[in-house]
């Protein structure tokens, strides 16, 4: 049976045969891979990612870390990462943390943050990583709702030349909650447990971690992933989509605060014993050569990034890449938002030098790993297409929405029952005559700013809480670099003059930063007399989206008919020309 062929992505016939098998006999397919990837039958991620490799290749680098400045670099071998993990795990045990307990991690991208995740796994605690750029209020909500007993953090970090006061934020978030704080700046301060600490035995369905992600509700959703299915799916997708081998040097520019940082910085690459390069800075600090210099220095072979980062770097021109030796690259990848054709071509030509396939991978926090990627024929890739399903996954389109017609693949979050119902993705997509999928953005009220998912109702509830605001609608508008930006339409409780409007707009931005984080900062705020509504009182967001784009105002007649206060449209169009830029 053809299940395990490393040429899958180089030969469409092989891809097809494996795919057909995986759909026809899913149980056999996944069981085969489960047995291959977990020969010891051990579902503890810390054991799989560390002990197995530390035994055979203790001196091999697990992590190469780059800090905010060019001179900041550290190497962490598998043996050292295991030791760091054991020390943190022992300290967690000493502080009373046990299997099943929830632990929040809020740290910048360092080897310690990865060791902290693995330390939780080691003792069976459920980690809940919160992006270190979130505000104290957002962190507070996530600590409280996950019932975490302890928060792991460091004193401070630095990103893009700015200091991140991690401990200060964590203490502000905790307030008077009864939650312990563990500083992991110096792991060697934690005594080793003289080998007394054992690796917790984990079953296939035991919970491994949670992550909060935005949806259409006011509050972010808590997504659970369990040990066996998650590790199996993330490791397999990594192996096949990126043709990953132990000798590869893998550089993923995401952050551990997101699912990409869980699956393709931490768990899949370490599971397969690669060396990962992690970077705690930003692509533009101190200049736009950071990624390329790191790739050259470390001979990176797999580079996985986000379209907004690529668009930003492409804006610096081809000469910003030309002088770096990028010949070590074999495959490129992008994730998080639609990849436009111009950015795709720039990456393909200037970074991959027309020899590296680009894996435009579509997936979500809920799916645990990659669902769509150009696996079937890398020679004839289509810019802007995430293309084909991974093995065992059956996508389709229903009312323009991308759906998955089966739920029996192991990566799917345990929030969903593995029944034969359809999984709704919330994304709009199309499929061409070759059967290739193209993702067109969200169909629900979620905006995607630089690949970060943000629920518009989360933003609106912050805006509406201001005394001066009557009601508001936050919508995503196209943005050249960020993909989408936030535009807020608001009505006020009293008439305001221009100065007052500007000061309320500032206050809105400050509150959003405080309650959510800098990610959610709006680009534009528009004060309007009325929001367009239907007879039943629903805000006509699609009309606002058209006005927000400011070009090609072309309304759908049926849409217009459903508005009861149609006269406000002209006023909103006019107000848009006086939008306050933030
Ligand atoms: O809208 C899709 C977009 O990101 C959403 C998932 O966000 P999140 O759960 O934060 O996970 C991001 C990293 C996996 C999707 O619903 N998205 C993700 N990848 C792509 C994408 N949109 C277009 N093309 C992609 N390759």
The 3 state secondary structure assigned to 83-115 is HHHHHHHHHHHHCCCCCCCEEEECCCCCHHHHH
Question: What tokens were used for 103?
Answer: 């632990």
CB 562 within 8 A of CB 525: no
CB 520 within 8 A of CB 459: yes
Q: Is the CB of 259 inside a 6 Å radius of any atom of ligand 1?
A: yes
Q: Considering only CA atoms, which residue is closest to atom 22 of ligand 1?
A: 337
Q: Is the CB of 200 inside a 6 Å radius of any atom of ligand 1?
A: no
Q: Considering only CA atoms, which residue is closest to atom 4 of ligand 1?
A: 336
Report CA(434)–ligand 1 centroid distance (Å): 23
Report CA(362)–ligand 1 centroid distance (Å): 6
End-to-end distance of the chain based on CA atoms, in angstroms? Answer: 59
**Average pLDDT per consecutive 10 residues, the chain (582 residues; last block may be shorter):** 57 89 95 94 97 98 97 98 97 97 98 98 98 95 97 96 96 97 98 82 97 90 98 97 96 98 98 98 96 98 97 96 97 96 97 95 98 86 95 97 96 89 95 96 93 94 96 95 96 96 98 95 97 92 89 78 91 93 94
Q: Is the CB of 335 inside a 6 Å radius of any atom of ligand 1?
A: yes
Q: Name the phi and psi angles at 101, rounded to 5.
A: -75, 150
Q: Is the CB of 305 inside a 6 Å radius of any atom of ligand 1?
A: no
Q: Is the CB of 580 inside a 6 Å radius of any atom of ligand 1?
A: no
Tell me if the bond preceding 286 is cis, omega within 30° of 0. yes
Q: Which pTM does this prediction carry?
A: 0.96
User: SS3 for 398?
Assistant: strand
Question: What tokens were used for 487?
Answer: 């535009």
Q: Is the CB of 213 inside a 6 Å radius of any atom of ligand 1?
A: yes
d(CA 71, CA 378): 37
Q: Is the CB of 448 inside a 6 Å radius of any atom of ligand 1?
A: yes
Q: Is the CB of 428 inside a 6 Å radius of any atom of ligand 1?
A: no
Question: What tokens were used for 440?
Answer: 């067109």
Alpha-carbon dihedral sign for residues 132, 137, 141, 147: positive
Question: Mutation test of ligand 1: which of 130, 237, 425, 439 has the most ligand atoms closer than 8 Å to its C-beta?
Answer: 439
Q: Is the CB of 413 inside a 6 Å radius of any atom of ligand 1?
A: no
CB 239 within 8 A of CB 263: no
Q: Is the CB of 371 inside a 6 Å radius of any atom of ligand 1?
A: no
Which ranges constitute the DSSP H helices of 385-431?
none
For residue 360, which atom of ligand 1 is closest to its CA?
26
For residue 361, which atom of ligand 1 is closest to its CA?
26
Q: Is the CB of 429 inside a 6 Å radius of any atom of ligand 1?
A: no
d(CA 562, CA 582): 32
Q: Considering only CA atoms, which residue is closest to atom 8 of ligand 1?
A: 364
Residue 328: count of CB within 10 angstroms of its CB: 16
The residue with tokens 């579509």 is 362
Q: Is the CB of 386 inside a 6 Å radius of any atom of ligand 1?
A: yes
Report CA(580)–ligand 1 centroid distance (Å): 29
Radius of gyration of the chain (CA): 24
Report CA(370)–ligand 1 centroid distance (Å): 10
Question: What tokens were used for 50?
Answer: 């560390």
Q: Is the CB of 453 inside a 6 Å radius of any atom of ligand 1?
A: yes
For 464-539, list the strands marked E by DSSP. Answer: 469-479, 483-492, 524-527
Q: Is the CB of 131 inside a 6 Å radius of any atom of ligand 1?
A: no
């Amino acid at each position: 049976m053809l299940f395990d062929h490393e040429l899958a992505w180089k030969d469409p016939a092989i891809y097809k045969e494996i795919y057909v098998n995986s759909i026809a006999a899913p149980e056999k397919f996944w069981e085969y891979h489960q047995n291959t990837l977990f020969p010891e039958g051990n579902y503890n991620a810390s054991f799989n990612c560390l002990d197995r490799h530390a035994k055979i290749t203790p001196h091999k680098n697990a992590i190469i870390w780059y800090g905010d400045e060019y001179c900041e670099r550290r190497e962490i071998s598998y043996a050292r990462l295991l030791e760091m993990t054991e020390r943190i795990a022992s300290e967690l045990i000493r502080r009373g943390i046990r299997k099943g307990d929830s632990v929040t991690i809020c740290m910048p991208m360092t080897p310690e943050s990865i060791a902290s995740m693995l330390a939780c796994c080691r003792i069976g605690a459920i980690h809940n990583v919160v992006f270190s750029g979130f505000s104290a209020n957002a962190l507070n909500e996530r600590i409280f709702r996950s019932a975490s007993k302890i928060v792991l953090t460091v004193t401070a970090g630095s990103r893009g030349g700015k200091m991140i006061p991690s401990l200060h934020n964590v203490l502000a978030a905790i307030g008077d909650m009864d939650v312990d704080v563990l500083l992991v700046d110096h792991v060697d301060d934690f005594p080793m447990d003289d080998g007394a600490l054992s690796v917790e035995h984990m079953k296939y369905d035991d919970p491994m971690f949670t992550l909060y992600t935005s949806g259409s509700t006011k509050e972010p959703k808590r997504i659970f992933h369990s040990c066996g299915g998650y590790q199996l799916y993330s490791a397999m997708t990594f192996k096949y989509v990126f043709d990953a081998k132990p000798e590869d040097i893998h550089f993923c520019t995401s952050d551990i605060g997101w699912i990409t940082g869980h699956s393709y910085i931490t768990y899949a690459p370490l599971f397969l014993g690669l060396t990962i390069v992690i970077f705690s800075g930003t692509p533009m600090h101190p200049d736009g050569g950071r990624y390329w210099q790191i790739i050259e220095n470390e001979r990176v072979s797999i580079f996985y990034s986000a379209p907004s980062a690529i668009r930003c770097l492409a804006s610096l021109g081809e000469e910003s890449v030309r002088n770096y030796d990028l010949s070590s690259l074999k495959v490129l990848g992008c994730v998080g938002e639609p990849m436009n054709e111009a950015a795709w071509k720039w990456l393909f030509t200037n970074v991959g030098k027309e020899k590296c396939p680009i894996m435009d991978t579509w997936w979500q926090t809920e799916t645990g790993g990659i669902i769509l990627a150009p696996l079937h024929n890398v020679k004839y890739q289509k810019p802007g297409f995430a293309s084909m399903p991974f093995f065992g996954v059956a996508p389709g389109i229903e009312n323009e929405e991308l759906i998955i017609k089966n739920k029996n693949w192991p990566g799917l979050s345990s929030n969903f029952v593995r029944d034969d119902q359809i999984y709704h993705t919330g994304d709009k997509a199309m499929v061409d005559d070759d059967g290739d999928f193209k993702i067109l953005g969200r169909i629900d009220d979620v905006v995607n700013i630089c690949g970060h998912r943000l629920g518009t109702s989360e933003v609106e509830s912050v805006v509406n809480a201001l005394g001066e605001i009557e009601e508001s609608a936050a919508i995503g508008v196209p943005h050249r670099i960020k993909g989408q930006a936030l535009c807020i339409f608001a009505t006020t409780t009293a008439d305001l003059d221009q100065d007052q409007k500007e000061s309320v707009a500032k206050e809105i931005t400050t509150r959003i930063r405080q309650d959510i984080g800098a990610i959610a900062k709006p680009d534009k705020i528009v004060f309007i007399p009325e929001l367009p509504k239907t007879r039943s009182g629903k805000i006509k967001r699609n009309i606002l989206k058209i006005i927000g784009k400011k070009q090609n105002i072309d309304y759908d007649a049926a849409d217009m008919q459903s508005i009861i206060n149609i006269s406000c449209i002209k006023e909103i169009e006019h107000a848009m020309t006086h939008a306050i830029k933030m």
